[in-house]
Structures are given as structure tokens and as C-alpha cells.
Amino acid sequence: MERWRDRLALVTGASGGVGAAVARALVQQGLKVVGCARTVGNIEELAAECKSAGYPGTLMPYRCDLSNEEDILSMFSAVRSQHSGVDICINNAGLARPDTLLSGSTSGWKDMFNVNVLALSICTREAYQSVRERKVDDGHIININSMSGHQVPSQSVAHFYSATKYAVTALTEGLRQELREAQTHIRATAWPLTGAQLLSRLSLLAQCISPGVVETQFAFKLHDKDPEKAAATYEHMEVGPSEAIHFLNEGRGNPGL
């Protein structure tokens, strides 16, 4: 991890859950981290906690609506002008709406597609360009996916969400192929690696991590009008903590992802 000190990582959806855990872990290892979300209050609190803890890295909150391409481009422009560019892009942001295929709202479908698929793709493109234009020999693109991107869940409210996560699986593999076809020194990896391997390769990695059920506020946002149903989501499942993502900096094996 020493080689990544003072390098810059972008973490989308850093206001809570896995995104916040990833941001904290990277700051602990001495990286400069831009943590973005639509609201940055929680990220500001996390940044203060990291500073008080004496972590060698820095967490910089950035307000960005990932459903808006202009916001994303503005963020990358700001990172370019203030910090040269992005070295690691962790596409973590994602959302679900309880809109089924037979009766769901078009607006709910669009919300999921815009963040889970389009924002991820735009951030990937801009991060790649940032690495290439600076002639950087290494870098990472890591997509936080879901097991719903590999098997369709039985709950009807999750079917469209699952479709967006299947898209992430396809996009990660497609990115790997495009990088290979471009015959650049940048290469992509499409199979699971341990955390130590992810942050030690001398190349641009396209990596897709697919957690199972993780203890975050995800279900409560999905069922925002029915907190009891949200709580019940986790009652009969083996749930992992968000901090399981700390395997990224501790070099442990795959924690059930």
C-alpha cells in the first residue's frame, strides 16, 4: 500500500455504508480521497473523524448528483485542476426503488438506471481519460456490484434493480475487452481478487466486486415508506457489516463477496 500514498481515489456514494467504509480504509492508508454524494454532511463528519484519528490520508467531501452528467463532469474537472487527476475510481454509488416490472413507475426505473448504470459508465470513462492523459502507468477502476448482478432475486421489487446490476457485470467485462483491444499498457481484470492484489497490480484494473447482503441503510431507502418491512429484510439473512470492505487495506481474503 505504500506506493499508493498521496495518490488520489474517487469514491462515489461515500456518505454511508460500503462507500464510507472504503473511504475510511483508504484514508487510513495515506491516500487522498474525494468522497462524493448528493449530500455531504455525513462525509464531512467522516472527514473530521479521520483527521482527529490522525490518519495520514485526507478525505475531501464533494457534492455531486450522479444522476446529472454535468455534475459528474464538473467534479472530474475540479479534481483535475486541484489534484492533477484520479488514480483510483471506485464506483460504489447505487440505489434501488420498489418499482416492479409490471406496475413500477418509469421515473423509478430511470432513477436506478441513471445512477447504477449511466453514472458508473461516465465515471469510468472520465477516470480512464484522466489516467491516460497524464500517462500514468497504473490505476484502478473498481465497480462495487451486487450478487443481484449474477442471479435474479425472488422479490419483485428488486427485479429492475437486478437488471441494472447485471448491466454492471456486463460493463466490467466489456471494459476489460476494450482495454485489451486498445493495445495499451492498461489492462483489465474481470475475476475476483483479494484486496492486497487489487491495490498492488501495476496496471489499470477493471474489477467488479459483488457483495451479498451488507448491513447498510440500503433496505431502508428501498422501503422508505415502510420501515418495518425494511428491518425485516435483514432479520432472516446472514448480514455482513459495511466494514467488511476493510479487506481492501488489510489484505485478507474475500469476505464472502
Over the stretch 80-93, which tens digit does the pLDDT of each residue have? 999 999 999 999 99
> For residues 148 and 211, is the Cβ–Cβ distance under 8 A?
no
Lowest-pLDDT range, 8-22, 111-125, 159-173, 235-249? Answer: 235-249
Mention every residue, 6+ apart, whose C-beta is less than 8 A from residue 122: 69, 72, 73
pLDDT higher than threshold 90 for residue 199? no
With a cut of 60, say whether residue 256 has pLDDT above it.
no
| Mean residue pLDDT across the chain | 82
Catalytic residue among 62, 161, 166, 234: 161
Q: pLDDT-based confidence at 179, cuts 50/70/90?
A: confident
Q: Give a three-class secondary structure readout of the chain.
A: CHHHCCCEEEEECCCCHHHHHHHHHHHHCCCEEEEEECCCHHHHHHHHHHHHCCCCCEEEEEECCCCCHHHHHHHHHHHHHHHCCCCEEEECCCCCCCCCCCCCCHHHHHHHHHHHHHHHHHHHHHHHHHHHHCCCCCEEEEEECCHHHCCCCCCHHHHHHHHHHHHHHHHHHHHHHHHHHCCCCCCCCCCCCCHHHHCCCCCEEEEEECCCCEECCHHHHHCCCCHHHHHHHHHCCCCEEHHHHHHHHHCCCCCCC
pLDDT interval class at 181 (50, 70, 90): confident
Q: Taking 70 as the threshold, does the pLDDT of residue 52 lie above it?
A: yes
Beta carbons within 10 angstroms of residue 232's beta carbon: 12
pTM of the complete model? 0.78
Known active-site residue 161: yes
Q: What is the pLDDT of residues 241-252, one digit of tens each?
A: 545 444 444 433
Does the pLDDT value for residue 223 go beyond 60?
Answer: no
Q: Does residue 107 carry a pLDDT above 70?
A: yes
pLDDT digits (tens, 9 = 90+) for 36-47: 999 999 999 999
